[in-house]
Structure 1
Amino acid sequence: MPSPPPPVPAPRSLSVSSLIFKCADDEKKNFKDDIVTFNIGGHIYSTTCLTINDNVDSQSLLSLIISNRTTTQLDKNGHYFIDRDGTYFRYILNYFRDKKLLLPENFTELKQLCSEAKYYQIDRLVDEIENRLNTTNEHKKQLEIGLNFTLISSLSQGGKILTLIGPLKLISLFHIEPIGKKFLKIISSYTDPNNISCQCTFPVDDKLISCQPFDQLQRIVLAKQARKMGLAVSYCDDYFYIPIERQIMLRDELAQLLLNGCHGKLLHTNVTYEKKSNSDHDASYSLVENWFVPNISIAKCLETNGPINNNGNIYSSTSMTNGL
């Protein structure tokens, strides 16, 4: 009689708990790798669920949308449709990807971007944008505080500057000699040079700035200080002369510096005509301009020892504005 066949081992089975965990892990993995596409005001953006969930709170709008916990409408292609300005969402999505806010140079729509970040309930991004807004607003305020002055220049002879009428501090726009810088520093230590108004004349041949304050007491005090320091002084009218390190720049050079490097504004311009004799050849034309320049730009000139480098060239607008 044949022997019975050997027993067949029972198939190995998985417990209910292991099946639940395995399904949960697979679902979680697939969810992370899922690609989700948004139609935001007609702009189409695709990313992964992982990119969204790694950057937002579980109760924020985008998280609720991709987990199907909202009634967000789908477009005809099955994309989540959000009725917002899609041009700003690119910056939000890049913020998720790069973990930092990268914006184009001279970006001027921070308020609109902040509004979008608030809509999507991205608190960390809202805080960063608001910090930038506060910094930008403070910088704008600083650019509105400054000095007003009048610049008179010749329309002939290459447009030479003839006169600068304004606060003594404006002399720092020119690359003055060390003794002149020391003079301004001493004056600034006991009075505000913004309040010392001067009429500075520019000789054609001499490397000097001839300054005469309007107020008689100022003239006496400043001329006395200039004598102590060995600066040239005209005794008859209490003029004092501050030496500079190069020839006086032309009007166009100074205008370029003011506009491109100092956030300056040309407020008003006028042409004056002066006829010295009956001959038209003796007539002269002068350009009279009213300018404004912020205090922080003047301070930058002082930090860099003036806007003119050793080669006699005006510093580029980049080098002048980096510290502003």
Structure 2
Amino acid sequence: MRKVIILGTGPAGLTAAIYLARANMQPLVIEGNQPGGQLTITTEVENFPGFPDGIMGPELMENMRKQAERFGAEFMRGWVTDVDLSKRPFTVSVEEQGDMQAESLVISTGASAKLLGIPGETENMGRGVSACATCDGFFFRGKKVIVVGGGDSAMEEANFLTRFASEVQLVHRRNELRASKIMQDRAQKNEKIHWSLNVAPLEVVAENNRVTGLKVTNNETGKEEIIPTDGIFVAIGHKPNTEFLKGQLDTDELGYIKVKPGTTETNIPGVFACGDVQDHIYRQAVTAAGSGCMAALECERFLEGQGAMDWSKSLS
């Protein structure tokens, strides 16, 4: 039996773990198949406060984990297959670990970028392939980049990248874009954005561990070509990692967990959501960490208000 279980170890989950451990709540943190979240597949992080010279993503996550462990947070590697939120204590089922119970839950399972699934894509993440223009656009100052996608996210990423890149090539597999008219118009008026429509990406081309091009095929003629580029930004959306909840929490039409405005509280008392699993707007490490702090403080107040028993005494 636990006072609180935290699901996920990105910036949100680890920040929540730090705060809850310091409050002597003895949190158990369950790591998924990608401990540390999306920052573990990035290279240098330059926009997280406190690191004037930047810091490598995996190093930042490892430092957060050590900080949480220092205050007494416990970590368990495992994949959550099911949860029962119908009654307290809540039950969490972890693959190969069994069931465990907690008086409260902090859900910080994040969101995964949808990828193209083509050769060379995952291998070159952080080496020229990215799913976040806001995170990595700065590294492509004066260079040529490609944005793959046809929705609002792709238009927004392409426009943002023109602040840094000398040229942005927008690649979409259809003749028509899915983006709203206002977003299309904004992109089409941008002189730095060039268009490659009705072409399908086939392979990320790289040399010496750096992206050099994107192989595509023309859907009408079947002709293949390699578009030279310094970077490829995949902008086909994100998918929140909420399948294991099986509809027990209120979510929006995209699957992101709904929280009460200005809080991390879900529709079930004692269950809190923070980070990208409930934020499809900002998706930044610093905002995720901030919401993790909020979740921890709200969880602590919830447990104190419920008069949660002193587990350390009960188990002694």
Normalising by structure 1, we get a TM-score of 0.22
Query: What is the TM-score when the length of structure 2 is the normalising length?
Result: 0.22
Higher relative contact order (CA 8 A, sep 6+): 2
Higher strand proportion, which one?
Answer: 2
